[in-house]
Amino acid sequence: MTQSEALALPISHDKLAGSSEAALDLKAVHRMPFSRTRWFSGVSALTQAALMTGVGVFLFSQISATPKLAMQMTIVSSLLVAGGVLCSLTAVRDFLGFLSLDAKGYACRTGFKQFKGEWPQVRTWHVNEIAKTPEMACL
């Protein structure tokens, strides 16, 4: 197998103690969506977003009924709606994120941000199982 057909990925896991390298066949496209392992987190984030946004909109509707608390309710409801929007954006990462490997290179989307690269640019490849970003920990 030539370098264009396979990429040797050095792996230092106890599971593969007998081999120091694992070959990845790049004749086919390998696409690993995050949704298979992150769907529960995505549903949780969407539930939080719906609850926060719902309460924020309800408080906005009650501002006219409580004129002495208008400023406080405006601040709290604005924060709740903003928090709901941010929670829904994190759910996008869980449902639409992916890592794709093919003969040309790699592509990864984490939410709305996507990055790509070609194999000649890759010097080393490290799999971090204790990643600080949850979208990379599931790979």
Give domain limits for the chain: 6-34+97-137, 36-94
pLDDT band at 129 (very low <50, low <70, confident <90, very high): low
Nearest to 110 by CA among 102, 99, 100: 99
Query: What is the value of pTM for the model shown?
Result: 0.61
Q: 11-47 pLDDT, tens per residue? A: 433 333 444 455 667 677 878 887 787 888 889 999 9
DSSP state of 98: E
For residue 67, what is the DSSP state? G
Token reading at 47: 């539930």
Alpha-carbon span 133 to 118, nearest angstrom? 23
Q: What does each C-alpha distance from 69 to 29, 51, 54, 126 come to in angstroms?
A: 58, 22, 19, 54
Amino acid symbol at 11: I
**Mean pLDDT of all residues belonging to the chain:** 77
The 10s digit of each residue's pLDDT in 60-118 is 999 999 889 999 999 999 999 999 999 998 888 888 888 888 888 888 888 778 888 88
